[in-house]
Each structure stands twice: as C-alpha cells, then as structure tokens.
Structure 1
C-alpha cells in the first residue's frame, strides 16, 4: 500500500479520534510571531509589502520541511518519511474539528449561541450569516479549508504541500492575517483562492458522485464552474443545490402513496438544522470517495 495513502488514513483517524491531542498541538502562534518579526524589520518600500510578499515568510519553513522530507524518504525503507508525513498532515489538518463545530451550531438553542457557533465558520473578523443556505456554504467552505485543501496538496506534494496550504490559509484568513500589510494580505488571499480552485473542482466531482449528478452539474454550470474564476463561488452554489436535493429526497421517502406527508416527514422538516446534518453527511461521503479513488490509484500503481 502506498505510503501516501497510509499517512493520509492514519492522520485522518488520529484527527477524528484523538481530538484533545489535536487541540493541544495545532497551535500557530509561532507563525504569527514570524510574520510580525518580518513586518517590523523590512522597510515600507520592500518586496514584503507588495502583492506577493508572503513568499518571504513561506520560503524558510517550507524549505526546512522539504529538506526533512527528502532526507527521510529512503532511510528505514521509507518509515521515517511515513512518520514525518503523518505528523505534518496531522498538524496541518483542521485546526478545529469540523464535526464538533457543526454539531455545536446545529444544537444551538438561542440566537446568541447560534451566532457564536456560526462565527467559527467565518474568517477572522467576518460577520456570520445565520440563514440555512449561508450555513450550508460555510460548512463546505470549511471542509475545503480544514480537510480537502490540506489533503489535496499533501497528496500532490507531500508534507510540504500540506503545511504550505495551511500557512497560506492562516495568512489569508486566520489570526496571522492581522500581521500582514494590506497589499500583502490581498496577495495571500489571491494565492489561497488559486490553491483552492482545483480542490473545489474535485469536491464538486465527488458531490456529483455521492449525490444527484444532474443537480450538481446544473448548479456548477450556472454558477460559472466551467470557467476559471478565483472566487470559487461555484462550490457554494453546488453545496446549496445538493443539500436542497437531499432534503427533498428524504422528505419524499416519507410521503405515503396517497401523497399525504407522514408524521415522520413532518418531524424531518421541523428537526433542528436538517440542512447542516445533510451538509455534513455529504462532506463525509465526498471524503470517502476521495480516499477510495486514491486507493484505486495505489492499486493501479499511479501513486507511490
């Protein structure tokens, strides 16, 4: 079995089952300190304050990870590289647990607690929207940033890809974004959107496979998914359409032959945040599709 697949599965299982461990190690204060140090040392007219100035902050940590990645690739039949990959992927995953955050949002009893729970799905300083469609989009956007983006770049580039994606995301939308000059922050957000684009496309494909293909394809086309656009808005449109279709199908399953909704159908329609439940279900099914396809690539010999 591929080292890549083993590292991905082990890191995913650890992240889900060892949540206290994950919460204790996934801290990025050092990165904010690093950005603050650079900002305080470089003058106003330096490359750092330009659109792609973030590269100055990314190169040193990613170079160090690359050197470790290369050095550990061969020793002990690759076991060193496997362990290093698991550690880096586990560190870059999340950092918050998506399941727990969705559950907290779905079970919020009042407006204040619902707004507090929803704030965890929005970028630093963002104002959360509490309508069902916006929350569905937020779940998928966070799935991309917390899970799929890290996994995709890990599969493509190894540990340096996973950590690189996480550092760019933190600089664009996390606490570290406060340390960046305006032009540098704009460049970081553009870079994050570029890194997200292929991931969002593959998430859409997975949604088409686990949900209603025609619904997903139609929403993808109507929202501009067929053309390159760094805003990646098509993922939100596809997410809304998929969840709406799922809810409609579930309700239809409980409608009797007479066409009258049963008690179960009414209970489903009035249950707490059914759109969040279905959104999280679709996210998990999409992740399983990714892992199944990766396993097929391993069997076919396309992944080392």
Structure 2
C-alpha cells in the first residue's frame, strides 16, 4: 500500500513537471490489435469472447510481468513497472489544461471548441454551467479516479485493464469493435465505474456541503436512476457547486454576483482536486495504520 501511495504521488508530480507527458500516452497499438483481432475472428466470435480476448490477452502479459518481478531486487523493478503503468494510463489528456483552455477562451466559438475535450463521447459540447460541471466530473472519473482506484486494487493490471476497457467503451478504440462488443464494453465500464463514482460522491460530501450532496444522491436514486448508471455523480456535483457559488455570492463585498458557467467550471475543477487530495489523505492514513500495527 505504501508503494502504491508513493507511485501515485510520483505520477502526479511527474505529470506537472513534464507537461508533454500526455503526448506519450498513445494507444495506437491497442487499436491495431483490435483491427487484427477483428480480421482474424470475423463475425464468428461471440461478443463477450471477442472483448475478453481484446482486453484479456494484453492484461495477461502485464500480469505475467507484474508477477515475475514482484520479489526481484527488493521490489524496486515492480515499483518502477507500476509507476510506468500509472503514468501511462493517467489521463490521457491533462484535465487541468483542458479546463484552463475553456476558461481562457476569448470567444464563444473558441470556448465551444475547447470544451470539446470534455465531451469525449462525441456530440456538440454544451457550454452551460451544469453541463460543464457534469462533464468535468465525468472526465475526472474516466481520467483520474477510475485508474487510481483499480491501480490500488490490482496494481498495473488494474490501471491498464481499466484504461483498455474505457477506451473500448467510449474512446477511439470503440470504433474498431463490432457493434455487439461495444455494448459489452459499455456494460463492463459501467461495472468498473460504479464503485469509483460512489466513493467520489462520498468524498465530495466530506469535502463540500454534506447535506446537499447526500440529498442530491438520494433524490437521483429516488427518481428511478438505472442501477449501474453513475448519473448520481453529476447530480451531486451540480448541487455541490451551486451551493458553493451561493455561499460566495452571500459573502461578496459588493453584494450577490451573477454566477457564470466559467465560475461553475472553476469551482468544479477545484472540487475535483479536493476529492483527489482527500483520497490521498485516506490512503496515507491506511499506510500509517499499517505501519503502526
């Protein structure tokens, strides 16, 4: 657990020290692998078997490496391998930079173009406050917290497995899959995302307005939300950001200010960082508790 915490901190620091790092996070090899597998299997492979081969075989290779170097040279090669896996799967785009580009855009057209990076599933970006807040948290789940959670659970295998499944469900690799396998990939991603979104929502309640977040979470489920849908995360984020902006207006020197979409976007990004720091703080406490026992 301590090695995992150190790897996460190193990954965050290296990501800020080397801003060109996202350029190395390319998955052309995975897309090529999907194309090759599709040519070999044709339409005869069942959807679940096809996706299992597409994601499972690369994970088998990663797991074999992770297993054989686990006890080599005091675990240092295993630590380096896990760190490289986390660096590779984090993102792949820089969420901070994407949000900053939207805020600094001078024209509505430039803002919509910059906002496209937050709407990775396609479609026209919506530059309204609630939509941008939800998009930031959806991207945080896909780029940061999903990778982090499964890395803590299963090391390099967990991080790379989550990234490959997420690419198959909603990324560029999705277009390389048959239609039936896309549906299986979306279901697999929903299963992987559900516990992460729940933990993000709980951390949000601790880092922001607890009552607002819990109320939004409860109302979303009471309205009949689907079992594996993570829409409660966006609902809780919108309620939390709205509450924080209302408090800012209440304490403004010149009286209440009109909240804009960019203010909501700024507060959403700030809240994402607070949640990440809370996760790291809990992880650090678990490490200290392990050492104490």
Is 1:51–1:186's contact at 8 Å kept on the other side of the alignment? no
Distance 1:279 1:190, change over 3 A: same
| Structure 1 residue 53, shift from structure 2 partner | 2.6
Cα distance in structure 2, aligned partners of 1:217 and 1:150: 25
CA shift for structure 1 position 128? 1.7
Q: Which moved more, 1:25-34 or 1:69-78?
A: 69-78
Distance in 1 (CA, whole Å) between partners of 2:42 and 2:242 is 51
Structure 1 match to 2:233? 235
Q: How does 1:29-108 map to 2 (within 5 A)?
A: 29-47=28-46, 50-51=47-48, 53-108=50-105
- Whether 1:153 and 2:142 are equivalent positions in the alignment is no
1:124 Cα deviation after fit: 4.2
User: In the TM superposition, what are the counterparts of 1:94-243 in structure 2 within 5 Å?
Assistant: 94-224=91-221, 229-243=227-241
- Quote the residue 1:290 is aligned against: 279
> Does the CA-based 8 Å contact 1:32-1:176 persist in structure 2?
yes
Matched residue, 1:13 = 13
CA 1:216–1:272 in 2, change beyond 3 Å: closer, same or farther?
closer
Q: Which runs of 4+ in 1 moved over 6 A?
A: 225-228
Distance across 1 between alignment mates of 2:159 and 2:259: 40
Alpha-carbon displacement from aligned partner over 1:177-236 (angstroms, at most 9, x marks no partner): 110111100110111111000000000011011100000000000111898711211001
* Residue 272 of structure 1, CA deviation: 7.0
Residues 209 and 243, structure 2, Cα contact 8 Å, conserved in 1: yes
2:5–2:284: 8 Å Cα contact kept in structure 1?
yes
- State the alpha-carbon separation in 2 of the partners of residues 157 and 76 from structure 1: 21
Q: Find the aligned partners of 1:52 and 1:292 in 2 and give their Cα distance.
A: 40
User: Which residue matches 1:258?
Assistant: none
Cα distance change of structure 1 residues 139 and 111 upon mapping to structure 2, 3 Å threshold: same
Give the counterpart of 1:276 among 257, 265, 287.
265
Higher mean Cα deviation, 126-135 or 152-161? 126-135
What secondary structure is seen at the aligned counterpart in 2 of 1:224?
helix
Question: Would you say how many aligned residue pairs link Structure 1 and Structure 2?
Answer: 290
TM-score, normalised by the number of residues in structure 2: 0.94
The answer to whether the 8 A contact 2:129-2:260 is kept is: no
Q: Is the deviation greater in 177-186 or in 111-120?
A: 111-120
Does structure 1 conserve the Cα–Cα contact (< 8 Å) formed by 2:133 and 2:237?
A: yes
User: How far 1:8 sits from its partner (Å)?
Assistant: 1.1
3-state DSSP class of the match of 1:158? helix
> CA separation in 2, counterparts of 1:139 and 1:237?
12
Task: Give the TM-score normalised by structure 1.
Answer: 0.91
RMSD: 1.8
- Listed one character per residue, the Cα deviations across residues 117-165 of structure 1 (whole Å, up to 9, x for unaligned) are 1111112433322211011000000000000000000000001000000
Larger CA deviation: 220-229 vs 34-43: 220-229
Paired residue secondary structure (1:95): coil
